[in-house]
A = this chain, B = another copy of it.
Amino acid sequence: MLNKNVFLKKYFLMTRSEENYLKTIFHLGGGDSKSITTNAIAEQMETKPSSVTDMAKKLAEKGLVNYVKYQGVSLTNSGVKTALSIIRKHRLWEVFLVEKLDFSWDEVHEVAEQLEHIKSEKLIDKIDELLNFPKYDPHGDPIPTKDGKFQERDKKLLSEMAINATGVCVGVKDSSVPFLKFLDKNKIALGNSIKVLDKEDFDNSLRIQLEGKEIRISHQIASNLYVKKND
């Protein structure tokens, strides 16, 4: 009885901390068999490199990451699968909070960080169904399907669009609370139509048409907004 639980725990059950590490490694690109350094992971997670080393060993033991001393970690197939299932939960909960509970897009991340660790396959599948199987979360990020398929959208940073090009705002690169609140205040939202009117060479700021109205936008903003170009 005790031995069986120790076995399950060691090789199958995921702790919250382990899940957070997998998610971070995935977001840093470790899903494409690219090696991520312990330092990079530590910085992202606001923890210490030595803690990351400890966890790397544990995750390697579970077959979730490839870890070679001094060479960093990458996700195994199993690790990718697990990371995607957590990201799927995170983004579905974010949609739920916005669509069903009237949260604003700057409030959802913090709560989703907790909800993503709830263990119930039925729960998340039912939430998915309730939301009518959404493809994107409130920040425009794609939601992996139940079987881990990922549909990245064809999008471009607004700052990289040519003059006179038109499109629709579909996502944010920076999804920090201050940036999202800034966009709200300036009435910039996902789904808005955009046309690039002019670029200012001096400071790289843009003059754009947003839902018909002409506004000026700094480079900082333009380089954090994703646009889907019209054909």
Contacts and interface: CB of A to CB of B under 8 A. Distances in A.
A130 interface: yes
Given A107-B122, A122-B107, A101 B114 contact: no
A37 to B, nearest CB: 26
Given A126-B102, A126-B103, A111 B120 contact: yes
Contacts of A101: 123, 126-127, 130
A120 B97 CA distance: 12
Interface residues of A, number: 18
A118 B115 contact: yes
B114 A118 contact: yes
B100 A122 contact: no
Contacts of A146: none
Interface of A: 97, 100-103, 107, 110-111, 114-115, 118-120, 122-123, 126-127, 130
Nearest 6 pairs of A and B residues by beta carbon: A101-B126, A111-B120, A114-B118, A111-B123, A115-B118, A101-B130
